[in-house]
Structure 1
Amino acid sequence: MRYPWVLFDADETLFHFDAYAGLQRLFSHYDVDFDRHAFAEYSAYNQPLWVKYQDGEIDAHTLQTERFTRWGQRLNVAPATLNQGFLEAMADICQPLSGAHDLISAIKPHAHIGIITNGFTALQDIRLEKTGLKPAISTLVISEQVGIAKPDPRIFEHAFEKMGNPPKEKILMVGDNPHSDVLGGMRAGIDTCWLNTDNTPVPEGITPTHQVGSLFDLKAWLIQKRD
């Protein structure tokens, strides 16, 4: 193994996060035909909240309630109730990304595996349990519990403490989001691997140590073949 410690992001790195399908499932309980137009409206309101969350301007509770405020008013349902229903729907439909099980199985005998996620507590344990990945994860750090979100290096330092403070050169951070996963790893002083499935240009000021197009490519790169 190139690294004895591998830290992963969760959503769209290990797990497929189909928010549209989850929202359709949520709103079906309220007899709402949640279509693509409604999803675009939700996303336009939700995405800036995530930026504020990652920048430390709002906390997890504010994000989770604010994103459902408009729908709560329309349906006369508490935003917190809608948020809980959404997280439950996402847990029901969660699936690992293609290659995730194979990757984790391959590296588990050779490396410690952790997750650092900006996702929310209500989803993480049930998703790890349902997908069978929980036994492989030795360190799970959730921004909602820590009170700090990626790319703030303090959430990485929190993870390092839980890991027993291994040398930073022995740690790799893998994630699909260059602005939280890669930049966060850079700020924390560790190597990073950008899971760049769409071959997107590297954002200015962000320099991943390595890039891969799939988890299969990541497995091939991580496990060094020796003759």
Structure 2
Amino acid sequence: MIKHIFFDLDHTIWDFDKNAEETLKELYQTYQLQTLGLNSTEEFIQTYTENNHRLWAAYHVGKISKETLRSERFSTTFIQLGIHPDHIPQQFEDDYVRITPTKTNLFEGSEKVLSYLQKKYSLHIISNGFKESTLTKMEVSALNPYFKNVIISEDVGVNKPDKAIFEHALQRAEALKEESIMIGDSLEADITGAQNFGMKAIFFNPQKKEAPEYVDWQIHHLEELLLHF
């Protein structure tokens, strides 16, 4: 009998890639990156997205630090696209981190689903996102009223998939494993993390990627949750 639903934030409710794309298009113009020889915004965004996803995957499991992630994602992108390190805009990362969390694109159906679930369940966030950015996203996207707790890995001291963050989240929510479920897009951080801890998990898979056998439950659109809860 589920009573508590724990959501990931980025890539699950808050549309990280769409919000990042909007920001990068703005910064492309602000920094006039075409004058550096970057003639394609699409190539720039695609290269950055690939690097960012790779670095976040390493950050989830503690292979790199927050500082390494932030210092490398754009420097690597610029260098891969042929920009000399001396010509990389020094404030680009800081502007990106400042602007992106103020974007408010959510996955389709988010507000409808959260409004429905809130009436029947206690909802909570477990995020590996950076604390300041996460709190900004929650506020400007008007998500705070839906959730009783927002658990952020920087506060806890460990990231998903570490069992300790799930244990902390259940203690904060005053919930039991058997009455809780995790919903997220990361197979390693959200699904494997929750399952290893002993919680049920739903894989949010909007791109319809092939899911491994250990995934017991997946959805491709958030509104599918209305059929099950």
Q: Deviations over 1:150-172 (max 9, x none)?
A: 222222122122222x2101111
Q: TM-score, normalised by structure 2?
A: 0.84
Of stretches 114-123 and 167-176 in structure 1, the one that deviates more from structure 2 is: 114-123
Asked whether the equivalents of residues 25 and 89 of structure 1 are also in contact (C-alpha less than 8 Å), the reply is: no
Matched pairs, number: 216
Partner of 1:32: 33
2:114 aligned with 1:97, yes or no? no
**1:125 to partner: Cα distance:** 1.7
Instruction: Provide the residue aligned with 2:4 in structure 1.
Output: 5
Give the TM-score normalised by structure 1.
Answer: 0.84
The offset of 1:130, in angstroms, is 1.7
Query: 1:96 aligns to what SS in structure 2?
Result: coil
Q: How does 1:120-159 map to 2 (within 5 A)?
A: 120-159=130-169
User: Percent identity among equivalent residues?
Assistant: 27
1:75 Cα deviation after fit: 4.1
SS in structure 1 at match of 2:44: helix
Distance 1:109 1:15, change over 3 A: same
2:122 matched to 1:112?
yes
Matched, 1:207 2:215: yes
Structure 1: state its 5+ residue gaps: 223-227
Counterpart CA distance in 2 for 1:35 and 1:74 is 21
Comparing 100-109 with 41-50, greater Cα deviation is found at: 41-50
> Match of 1:169?
178
Give ranges in structure 2 of 5+ residues lacking alignment: 35-39, 80-84
Q: What amino acid does structure 2 have at the position aligned with 1:10? A: L
Q: 1:45 and 1:194, CA in 2 relative to 1: closer, same or farther beyond 3 A?
A: closer
Q: Structure 2 counterpart of 1:58, which letter? A: I
2: CA distance between counterparts of 1:134 and 1:110?
17
Q: Which amino acid aligns with 1:94?
A: T
RMSD: 2.2
1:188-227 correspondence to structure 2 within 5 Å: 188-204=197-213, 206-208=214-216, 210-222=217-229
Distance 1:221 1:152, change over 3 A: same
